[in-house]
Amino acid sequence: MDISAVISLLAICLLGAMSPGPSLAMVVRHTLGSGRRHGIICAWSHALGIGIYALVTLLGLATVLAASPQVFKAITLLGALYLAYLGVQALRSQGQGPGLWQGGQAISYRQAAQDGIAISLFNPKILLFFTALFSQFVMLADNMSGQALIVLMPMVIDGLWYTLIAFAFSHPKVLDKLKAKAHIIDKLSGVVLLLLAARVIYSL
């Protein structure tokens, strides 16, 4: 994979991790309700689920590419349209509701880990996101190192991002600042997702 492809992959992984949603809410609740360690455990359990999704999606798309390039091209187009849809939704978003930023009850480390992996593995939107994401990189990852990169990068970035969230939310003053900036993150994500979708369609 060339450097431009790596940068594009990095950008998409960052946007996927940073987008507010159920995964963020889960990490925030465990951090606010039980403490930093619970948030970090939830974060890396979630990242493990992301890694599993990444590997399964990569293998599935690689199989489709080998069997039928035309079908793979159609999947790539659908993936680009889905990225564009996410971009439009992000631009229209007015930020997340107050429920996203609320803490839950104190629980065990095991429960935090179970919640983290469950929220990633049982979220069908993540599968759609990875299909959209990987369809443009499968042909570029023509060796083991490239394939390892596009599986490990989203997992590591996801874990690091939510670890950062756990540290940040351990300091209550950070909460109000993040709430105030949520709509800005949405708008920035929307613009980048639309640009990435346009890039995929242009490359077809």
| 130 burial level (CB within 10 Å; 0-12, 13-18, 19+) | buried
pLDDT of residue 43: 94
Return the top range by mean pLDDT from 41-45, 58-62, 70-74: 41-45
30, pLDDT greater than 90: no
76, pLDDT greater than 80: no
Model confidence band, residue 178 (pLDDT cutoffs 50, 70, 90): low
Cβ partners under 8 Å of residue 113, min gap 6: 41, 42, 45
Instruction: Give 103-155 pLDDT, tens digit per residue.
Output: 556 678 898 899 889 888 877 677 777 777 777 777 777 778 888 888 899 99
Return left, alpha or beta for 73; rule: phi > 0 is left, psi -120 to 50 is alpha, else beta: alpha
Both tokens of residue 187?
A: 């708008």
101, pLDDT greater than 60: no
Q: Residue 30 and residue 20: Cα distance in Å, rounded? A: 16
Is residue 118 within 8 Å of residue 42, measured between CB atoms?
no
Buried/exposed 61-76: b ≥16 CB within 10 Å, e otherwise: bbebbeeeeeebeebb
pTM of the full structure: 0.74
* Eight-state DSSP code of residue 171: S
pLDDT of residue 98: 47
Average pLDDT over residues 36-42: 92
Average pLDDT over residues 58-76: 80
Angle between helices 144-168 and 36-67 (to 10 degrees): 150
Residue positions counted in the chain:
204
Is residue 104 within 8 Å of residue 147, measured between CB atoms?
no
- Position with higher pLDDT, 193 vs 70: 70
Average pLDDT over residues 180-197: 73
Q: Residue 19 and residue 9: Cα distance in Å, rounded? A: 16
97, pLDDT greater than 80: no
- Position with higher pLDDT, 142 vs 57: 57
Concatenating the DSSP letter of every residue in 12-80 gives HHHHHHHS-SHHHHHHHHHHHHH-HHHHHHHHHHHHHHHHHHHHHHHHHHHHHHHH-HHHHHHHHHHHH
pLDDT of residue 204: 66
